[in-house]
Structures are given as C-alpha cells and as structure tokens.
Structure 1
C-alpha cells in the first residue's frame, strides 16, 4: 500500500504518531475487506475553509464537513491493468477533527483514525445512504478500530 499524504493546513499538528495510526488504519481496512495491499491512497489534511470550498464544489453543500471521500474504483467495461491501483482520495479537515474529538469526548487521534476508517470504507464501495447500509458500514468501522485498540476513551 502506498499512502500519499499532503498537509495543506498549518493550524493543527500532524505528528509522526498520528501518521503511524493512519497507516495502521488504512492497512487494516484493506485487510478487513480482503483487498490486497497494492493500492495507492491519497490523503490530504486541510482546514475548515478548504473543506468547505471542496464540499460546495463537489457535493453542492455550502458548509464545512469533517471528511470527504473520492473513490476511484468504478465498475466499467475497461480491462486495463495498471502497475499501481489507485483506491481514491481522502480529505480531512484537521480543525473539524479536533472540534469533534472535543464534542465526542475522545482523543484527537481516535477521531482522525475514525475519519480515515470511515473514508476507507467509502473508497471500497460502502455508503450510509440507508439505515441498513449505515449499520453495515458502522459495524465494519467498529471492527477495524477495535482490532487496532482504537476505542473511545
């Protein structure tokens, strides 16, 4: 797995410890779903202003959000073998992650881990558009985070 990270904000520190947690979450999500580790994932850290602009541009929602997912795996008729398989792009507002960690009364690292995990399942085709799909996705997220010992505390 290749994780390409881009820190486009300077308001919240992105520590080496947080990077290690993110790597373990992405690997465990792939493993949980039976994906091989040949995928490339792009992860951008942004501030509330940038994610607001992206949310408005790509989803037509004129407000900030915590995370955006841009899956690149699509079902199509092309059978092209590429050396690297791109799974997609994840964009996280680090400001929003910090706000939510305080709101939910758990660590900043746990919140970022959850957002990465949540977004990874979006990249692998899951959604929370119905109650049933939400239950499935939440169950998978919880299984990964519990396995890694990343629990609410």
Structure 2
C-alpha cells in the first residue's frame, strides 16, 4: 500500500521547542511537495533530520569528511542518480544534520530569525541530497542558489517562515 504523505524522522535532542519542531516539520513537508513537483526525483520522500550541537556536528564532520570543525549543515544522500523508491513508493532522500548552535550564531550575524536560518539550512541541505553542489562550479552554485531562493520565497509567501 502506498503511503499518502512523506516520511520525516526528526531527532532534536531537546535543542528546540516542540512548537518550533512542528513548524519545521510542516515546512519540510511543503519543501518535499515542491521537490516532487519541480524535480525528477519521485513523488513521496523519506527524510531523516537531526538537530545537534556544534561539538556533535564537528565529530560527524571529522569522521565522514575529515574536516575537524563545526559546520552549519551536513547532508548524507541516499538519492544517488536514478530514483530508487522503497516497495511502498517512498524515495529515501537521506539524512540532514543541522547544528542549532551554528544556526543561532549565523542568524544573529546575518540579522534574521533563528527559525528562518534553520529553514534556510534545511532547504540548502535538501538540494545537496538531490545532488546539487555549489562547490563544483560558479554555474552549479547559481543554479542551486536559484532553486533554494525559489523554495524559501514559497515558504515566505505562504507565511511559513518569518
């Protein structure tokens, strides 16, 4: 039987308020709907998201990317090339790991809300899961940024993020 909705697994380790998590999950559902409509990646997706501390993301970054520093978001894709849905029709996208501490610092530096920054990082990570890579070339960066901007604009227009 095919599920009627995306599957989003959230692990916040107590770093975010329940209401914040609910809004982020709702926004991720809209993001996945947008991706289903605009990308050739599938119709229904499974996504795992963990909100962690700087130290936790630093350890993961060191172990998997050999970079001994904290970062804002890490993406580990299960979507390699052609869509490979599970028997129930859900396409596994992968795992996003977001440092809440870094998101808070960046939101203060940039001058927008913490929630906006968390959404921005999730959108950025989603496009990495789909294979976009801003570090490949200026053209790829421009394309990825355009996709991210379109999705963030949609969320803003729908009143989903401040």
Pairwise CA distance, 1:18: 4.5
Deviation per residue, 1:66-88 (Å, 9 max, x gap) = 00000101137xx7853232110
Higher relative contact order (CA 8 A, sep 6+): 1
Say if 2:150 is the partner of 1:143. Answer: yes
| TM score, norm. by length of structure 2 | 0.81
Unaligned 5+ segments in structure 2 are 1-5
1:51 to 52, 57, 60: 57
Say if 2:96 is the partner of 1:90. Answer: yes
Say if 2:10 is the partner of 1:5. Answer: yes
Aligned pairs, number: 149
Say if 2:119 is the partner of 1:116. Answer: no
Aligned partners of 1:18 and 1:109 also within 8 Å? no
Unaligned 5+ segments in structure 1 are none
| TM score, norm. by length of structure 1 | 0.85
Q: Which residue of 2 aligns with 1:73?
A: 79
Cα 1:47/1:81, change in 2 over 3 Å: closer
Cα 1:13/1:85, change in 2 over 3 Å: same
